[in-house]
Amino acid sequence: MRFLKFMTKSMIILVFLAFFSIAGIYLYAKMLPKLSISGNGSYTLYDNTEAVFFQGNGTSKWVSVDEISDYVKKATITIEDKNFYKHHGFDVLRIMKAMYTNLTSRSYKEGASTITQQFAKNLYLDFDKTWERKIHELWYTIQIETHYSKDDILEGYLNCINYGHAMYGIENASEFYFDKKASELTLAESAMLVGIPKSPSNYSPLINHELAKKRQTYILKTMYEEGVITKDEYNDALNEELKFHGKKDGLDLDTLMYYQDAVMDELKSLGNVIETNLQNGGIRVYTNLDVKAQTSLENSIKSTITDNEEIQASGIMINPEDGSVIGLVGGRDFNKSQFNRALNSKRQVGSIMKPFLYYNALENGFTASTSFLSQETTFTISANNVYTPKNYNNLYANKAISMASAISFSDNIYAIKTHLFLGSENLIDTAKRVGIKTKLEPIASLPLGTVELNHLEITNAYATLASEGIKHEPYFIKKVTDMAGNILYEHKDTSEVVLNKSITFILNDLLKGTYDYNMIDYTYPTNISIASLLKHDYAIKSGSTNTDNWIIGFNKNVVTSIWIGYDDNKEMTTNDFRYSKKIWANAMEEYLVDKEVSWYEIPSNVVGVIVDPITGNLATNESKNKKILYYIKGTEPGFTQEVFDEYEEKQDTEKDNDEAKE
């Protein structure tokens, strides 16, 4: 009995302590300065012409609670927080119910965030999902509840919530989906919009009308069961045929949010000063977005892939002069898939690794004319390790070919011979120099791209070639200011010369051979299919594996890269490999229309010589193929070229003959 009395007294004391503690917290919050909720958390993004392309949290179309349809307010409260007008920021009974449901189901099926909590998160907490941020969310919730009326909180929430398609705020959403003001929305339209924020990529009626309709029906049914609407209102709304507008007033690109994603990721890395200013009135973010670049990438992908809903694509454009990312597409349509493949995936890169091998070779005494025998070969790597690479379609020259030919035809045998001749570590060193940060292993197949790299990472490595050997860190944000124009952050150039300019020029010129008719011999240059589409000079390299298809090319103006593949790593069909090159050519040419385009100047220590590009020998009157190739002065070819493994091959032939005689 005494123990029971003790426990009862203890519980009463604990309850009182908890009550006074909570009361103290709310009182302390009340004494603090009033938080601003009508402009906080907003960010305005500008492109490279300082034109606005995005305004976060809907502050551009803020409307008062009286200018919002009652149906929107009732539907929101019913489905998101039915005790909104009864609690003080936290719905204790709902929290307990959610905890019980999640514990018994051993999952996180049910949440218990109130409208105030969601509003606090949208205002201040876009950056992290840590326990520390959750605590901050709770504290902001208390501050908002102590300083504002429920109608003020509801107004703020409805003006900042995400309704999909980059539509933040009920007024923006109403105009986008239905071409009307938020005050004019019907019950059916309101229920449709209120259903979207739970999962904008799934419940947008423009993406999945069937799923959106089910969500709308659930909301209407819940409103009827809670007595918020009558049965007649329920039936009328259920049967109302909705007509969707689906157009934006400004820039309307299905891939623009991928670029915005990249900007927000970079913004997160800039420190607390950014988040502090978000809380104190918002920020302005000046980016490198070139609308023409973004549009060119999107248009070329859309116009090329018209017969395959499943296959995915990503594309990047970088200005090689400073590393600024001017266009980025992380998928075919952000509204259908928010996964940003350009930033967040790693894929096998195939033969687009080879230019870094050949730079290393040129740096170590090779020239454009250096020759190896191209024939089916088995390499003995160690006592118990042999490697037999294959050329595409098992097609071999069965003769000596020059480096110029090997690049043009993407000859795998030549690449492996070069790699093993130089030593595996040399390619890794060059890759690091040009900006590849992924750890690479010194394996024989490395130049054939068996490694997985990030799209932005490999594109920036090519930008080092395009900038004639100067490495830049890729970046999206030029500067960030507060709403008064005070600079909070400004990008600083960290460029570094990592490659020899003359050697880089020679390599870039050799990469023009991938679409040059003068290179046609026992096979065709790898990119000859797009030669007729190209109006300018480009250095281009394509690469393929069973699951990935790449093409990256550049000139002094821009580097453009395209990846094609399936998210589940399904093997690609022959038909699938036709997309990337056409996308690249169309995007590049569309972007460069009306721009002044030039190729690289020949360095003073480099000389051009007319050669037979297949053999690497000096051209004669009898030469079928003739082309100017470039060399460091003093390394120009004569009328015959040494074939590095010719003697070894001759020995093998003599041995075979001797065995045949026996």
Which positions are annotated as active-site residues?
80, 351
H/E stretch holding 318 reads: strand 312-319
Residue 41, C-beta contacts closer than 8 angstroms, at least 6 positions apart: 56, 57, 122, 123, 124, 126, 160, 278, 279, 282
Cα angle 561-531-596, degrees, rounded to a multiple of 5: 65
Residues found in the chain: 662
Strand partners, 371: 402, 643
Q: 46 φ, ψ to 5°?
A: -115, 145
Q: Express the helix, strand and coil content of the chain in percent, nearest 5 each.
A: 45, 15, 40
**Token duo for residue 192:** 């449709």
Q: What does the radius of gyration of the chain's CA atoms come to, in whole angstroms?
A: 32
- Contacts of 245 by beta carbon, 8 Å cutoff, 6+ apart: 175, 176, 177, 178, 179
CB-count burial class (<10 Å; 0-12, 13-18, 19+) for 1: exposed
Which residues neighbour 142 within 8 Å (Cβ) at sequence distance 6 or greater?
25, 26, 29, 89
Cα separation, 238 vs 221, whole angstroms:
9
Residue 487 neighbours by CB distance under 10 Å: 11
Report the C-alpha gap between 651 and 516 in whole angstroms. 35
Instruction: Round to whole Å and give the CA distance between 491 and 494.
Output: 9
CB distance 208 to 200 below 8 Å: no
Closest CA to 419 of 354, 504, 511: 354
Q: Cα angle at 661 between 655 and 662, to 5 degrees? A: 95
Rounded Cα–Cα distance for residues 274 and 272 (Å): 5
Calculate the alpha carbon distances from 383 to 183, 379, 380 in Å: 79, 11, 7
Using DSSP bridges, classify how beta strands 324-329 and 496-497 pair: parallel, antiparallel or unpaired: unpaired
Q: How far apart are CA 460 and CA 316, in angstroms?
A: 10
Quick check: 203 and 217 in contact, CB under 8 A? no
> Nearest-CA neighbor of 196 among 181, 218, 179, 180?
218
Query: Contact 99/91 with Cβ under 8 angstroms?
Result: no
Contact 137, 100 (CB under 8 A): no
Residue 71's closest CA among 227, 190, 209?
Answer: 190
Distance CA 319, CA 255 (A): 19
Show the 3-state SS of 347-359.
EECHHHHHHHHHH
How is residue 61 annotated by DSSP?
G
- Whole-angstrom Cα distance, residue 298 to residue 34? 45
